[in-house]
Chains A and B, each alone.
Chain A
Amino acid sequence: MDGKLVLGFLNYLMLSLIFIFGLISLVVKDQKKKLSFLFFMLFCTGILSYLFFTKISFILPAIILLFFCLAVFLMVGGQEYFGFGRPVIKAGGQTSKKKKLEGTKLLVIVNLLISVFLCIGAGILFYYFNRDFYKGLILVETFKTADMAQIVGNMGINYIPVVLLLLCGISSAFFYFISILDKRGDGN
């Protein structure tokens, strides 16, 4: 099979899988399953970026992303494990459960319909408004992407203040975690 065809097919497959896994991730109720499908979606995005010839330049953001997802997974797991130590905070008196259930169902359906129609409307608007943009486009003849040395060079030469800001932000976060993890709490 022609290499370009294979590449094209893989791209479309990955894009579809990203969308499908994302949808499933939203729809399932179990938190761990949500995160599992999110991870699959992440994996597909990684493959897609590889198919976009980004090579190693996606690795750096992917590492950050991976740490984040792992951290969320651990915290969700910890919450579920420890979460039954105290009673659930309740509010309000007894109300008629049946009426409340029917009312809630109607609200949920209305909310769902509004959200879906708004999103579809926005999608249609985006498609028609930007249709002409692609007509006059001059695409590159061969695919070339910047390598790691170029990217690091660009950061080093042009974006030193951003790196400084990043370091300041991480330092601030460090103090924040020390502050929030203090088991003595925050008495006055």
Chain B
Amino acid sequence: MNLQFIILSSFALFLLGIFGLSFYRSFLSSIIAFQFIIFSATINFFGFSLFLYNASAWDKTFIFFAFASIYLLLFLIVFYNYSMQTGVYELDVKKDFRFFIFSRSDWWGEDRIGDD
């Protein structure tokens, strides 16, 4: 087992997550891309802990609290997205959830309501 290979693999997974966020438009793809980033950070923590630190409890503590908090936030967002209380279905059929969109209404002038 080579630490450098493990970290490079985890960074590749991180980049896969970034790719998923930058290219794919759907909500579910964004959530899946988030999982890649979380897993890559977890692999980093476990890898470094195993190879560099003897019996470190700090990283495990961090992972536990981080998972609890970040998954609560993600669950809130997912729940809100799929909740049917508003009676609106097929939400992200036309929706682009990418963070960077180079369109006129995002940078300048009036906002085109209804185009999302």
Question: A150 — nearest CB in chain B belongs to which residue?
Answer: B57
B interface: dominant SS: helix
Query: A83 — which chain B residues lie within 8 A by C-beta?
Result: 89-90
> Restricting to B33-70, which residues have a CB under 8 Å from any CB of A?
33, 35-36, 39, 42-43, 46-47, 49-58, 60-61, 63-65, 67-69
Task: Report the minimal beta-carbon distance from A65 to chain B, rounded to whole angstroms.
Answer: 7
Q: How far apart sit A82 and B87, CA to CA, in the bound complex (Å)?
A: 10
Task: Among A49, A155, A169, point to the contact of B64 (Cβ < 8 A).
Answer: A155
Q: How far apart sit A134 and B89, CA to CA, in the bound complex (Å)?
A: 51
What class of interface size applies to chain A in its complex with B? 35 or more
Task: Report the minimal beta-carbon distance from B15 to chain A, rounded to whole angstroms.
Answer: 4
Query: A26 — which chain B residues lie within 8 A by C-beta?
Result: 16, 19-20, 24, 29, 32-33
Q: Does A181 reach chain B (CB closer than 8 Å)?
A: yes
Task: Among B24, B50, B71, B79, point to the contact of A143 (Cβ < 8 A).
Answer: B50
- Whether A49 lies near B42 (C-beta < 8 A) is yes
Q: How far apart sit A7 and B6, CA to CA, in the bound complex (Å)?
A: 13
Question: B15 — nearest CB in chain A belongs to which residue?
Answer: A119
Q: How far apart sit A84 and B89, CA to CA, in the bound complex (Å)?
A: 8
- How many pairs, one residue from A and one from B, have CB atoms within 8 Å of each other in the complex? 194
Task: Report the minimal beta-carbon distance from A55 to chain B, rounded to whole angstroms.
Answer: 10
Task: Among B35, B50, B65, B78, point to the contact of A162 (Cβ < 8 A).
Answer: B65
- Whether A23 lies near B16 (C-beta < 8 A) is yes
> Restricting to B8-23, which residues have a CB under 8 Å from any CB of A?
8-9, 11-13, 15-16, 18-20, 22-23
Q: Does A1 reach chain B (CB closer than 8 Å)?
A: no
Task: Report the minimal beta-carbon distance from B53 to chain A, rounded to whole angstroms.
Answer: 7
Q: How far apart sit A60 and B71, CA to CA, in the bound complex (Å)?
A: 13
Task: Report the minimal beta-carbon distance from A48 to chain B, rounded to whole angstroms.
Answer: 7
B60-96 vs A, CB cutoff 8 Å, 1 = contact: the mask equals 1101110111011011101110111101111001100
Query: A4 — which chain B residues lie within 8 A by C-beta?
Result: 1
- Whether B15 lies near A86 (C-beta < 8 A) is no
A127-B29 CB under 8 A given contacts A144-B54, A166-B68:
no
Q: How far apart sit A110 and B49, CA to CA, in the bound complex (Å)?
A: 40
- Whether B51 lies near A140 (C-beta < 8 A) is yes
Query: B12 — which chain A residues lie within 8 A by C-beta?
Result: 19, 123
8 extra A-B contacts, CB within 8 A, seeds A61-B64, A72-B31, A86-B90: A19-B12, A34-B29, A64-B71, A119-B15, A122-B18, A134-B4, A140-B52, A180-B80
> Could you name 5 residue pairs across A and B whose Cβ atoms are closer than 8 Å?
A22-B16, A35-B28, A45-B43, A112-B23, A154-B57
B residues whose Cβ falls under 8 Å from a Cβ of A:
1, 3-9, 11-13, 15-16, 18-20, 22-24, 28-29, 31-33, 35-36, 39, 42-43, 46-47, 49-58, 60-61, 63-65, 67-69, 71-72, 74-76, 78-80, 82-85, 87-90, 93-94, 114-115
